[in-house]
Amino acid sequence: MTYLNPISIFWMFILTAFILHKLRKKKTSKIVFIITITCLFLSTVTPLPVWLIHNLEQHYPVYKPSGNERLPVLVLGNYHADDTSLYPSQKLSAQSLQRVTEGVRIYKLQSSCPITFSGFAVNDKISTGKVGSEAAVSLGVSPKDTIILPAPRNTYEEALVYKKRFGTKNKFILVTSATHMPRAMAVFEKLGMKPIAAPTGFLIKEGTKESVYNWWPSSMKLFYTEAAMYEYSAQLYYKWFK
């Protein structure tokens, strides 16, 4: 996500404006500077970042089981740290932990079911799928119900590996972050599978005293901007090239 970091882009534009100014292209420099400040304003002050994230997160509702379904669960990976001093749940990134705990919640609602954890190995050590599985077991999942897909490095590879192993006939519950869910569902469905969305890790949560759509400057809005830029650009990439 680094290449879409708004702070990095901001400083690149500021540097460009400075170089243009030194080259005596003052009018162009001024235009670049104004564009930079406008983008920074939109990214940190306006409600736009909140709207962009909320728009992604509202595609699918929170998963609630219907009837006596006992469907397999697939928990998509994110990242983890290879810190041997930490327990599995503590090694996981915030997004990975949210996905694992949602998978465990669904597992317990269904009175156990096959639950698959995907994710590649960081630095060629233990895979995120393996760490996610260990964290789930520590939260009450039976080891015999866990399946690990340690090879996939991105959403498209996760879909390909899952399809190769389990086919396309049966429905399954797909667990991932709410912002990532629209892209994940599109990828799995395009490959002929039948996922049921179970989003988690919602960034925008209603119900507080103040409206989430406010005009207060916030570093969190900058984070929302970065997350939204990544997801929308990734959606376009998958649409055009996958």
Q: pLDDT tens digits, residue range 218-233?
A: 999 999 999 999 999 9
Quote the CA–CA distance of 184 and 197 in Å, as a whole number. Answer: 9
Place of tokens 């690149």: 12
pLDDT at 1: 47
* SS3 of residue 148 by DSSP: strand
- What lies within 8 Å, CB to CB, of 92 at 6+ separation is 78, 79, 80, 100, 128, 131, 132, 135
73-200 falls under which CATH superfamily? HUPs (3.40.50.620)
Kindly report the CA angle at 230 between 225 and 231, in degrees rounded to 5?
Answer: 100
Place of tokens 């590649």: 120
Low-confidence ranges of the chain (pLDDT < 50): 1-2
Q: What is the DSSP secondary-structure string of 8-59?
A: HHHHHHHHHHHHHHHTT-HHHHHHHHHHHHHHHHHHHTSSHHHHHHHHHHTS
pLDDT at 112: 83
pLDDT given at position 111: 84
Nearest alpha carbon to residue 76 among 193, 205, 173, 210? 173
- Look up the pTM and report it: 0.91
The answer to whether 240 and 21 have CB atoms below 8 angstroms apart is no
Domain residues of the chain, as ranges? 73-200
Residue 205 — φ and ψ, nearest 5°?
A: -125, 120
Query: Residue 208 has what pLDDT?
Result: 62
